[in-house]
Structure 1
Amino acid sequence: MRYCLALDLKDDPALIAEYERQHVQIRPEIDASIRTSGINDMQIFRVGNRLFMIIETDENFSFDTKAAMDAANPAVQEWETFVSTFQQPLPFARPGEKWVLMKQIFAL
């Protein structure tokens, strides 16, 4: 399955540059967490302060299972706390929601 998600960064060039720097090579324990959740590929793109993430998953992937795994993983919790200093929710995000799942509206 393919999922697309969006999130905003704080509109500060220095913070945006540091966020990008932190993603040049992510921490091994974060990479392992992503892969063991059933995500086979993940890409993040940026325009301005808006981020767009594409994830490709296996057939067993579940956002609920991934959230539970993340909540039980201290390294992921540390990472999420750190990256949240760069991030801000989309204007229409639900309370506590970071990455917002996008609706596909066209396919060729």
Structure 2
Amino acid sequence: MTRTKRFCYSCDLKNDPELIEEYKAHHAPGAVPEAIVKSIKDAGIENMEIYLTGNRMFMIMEVNESFDPAKKAEMDANNPAVQKWEELMWKFQQSLPWAEKDEKWIALEKIFQL
């Protein structure tokens, strides 16, 4: 039986209502290119959700035991479709104020669970 683990991340969008709406359209059901969906699934990500408030996003990923963030980063770096998608997404995204240079999605620290 495969066990799932959860990873949560945050990233900001540029605070421009038109860009935010365009970003949302790129993530509407059926809008994400199949090559991107495949790359996500191939990395061991079983479920991914992105939530938005204002221009701040929160991503929740449920992954299986094969998922490794470093391996996913390497897979993405070697996938032209993912690189093209990331370049397009960077038009809308901006780093969090405390992020390292060119760092997008920042891992969230879990501080409470009921």
Same fold, TM exceeding 0.5? yes
Secondary structure of residue in 1 paired with 2:112: coil
Report the aligned-residue RMSD. Answer: 0.5
1:19 equivalenced with 2:26 (yes/no): no
The residue aligned with 1:70 is 76
Secondary structure of residue in 1 paired with 2:72: helix
Deviations 1:8-67 (A, max 9, x none): 000000000000000012100000000000000000000000000000000121110000
The residue aligned with 1:7 is 11
- The CA distance in 1 between the partners of 2:26 and 2:67, in whole Å, is 26
Unmatched segments (≥5 aa) in structure 1? none
The residue aligned with 1:36 is 42
- Tell me the TM-score normalised to structure 2 length: 0.93
Secondary structure of residue in 2 paired with 1:103: coil
Moved over 2 A (4+): none
- The CA distance in 1 between the partners of 2:99 and 2:64, in whole Å, is 26
Secondary structure of residue in 2 paired with 1:2: strand
The aligned amino acid for 1:26 is V
The residue aligned with 2:64 is 58
The aligned amino acid for 1:101 is A
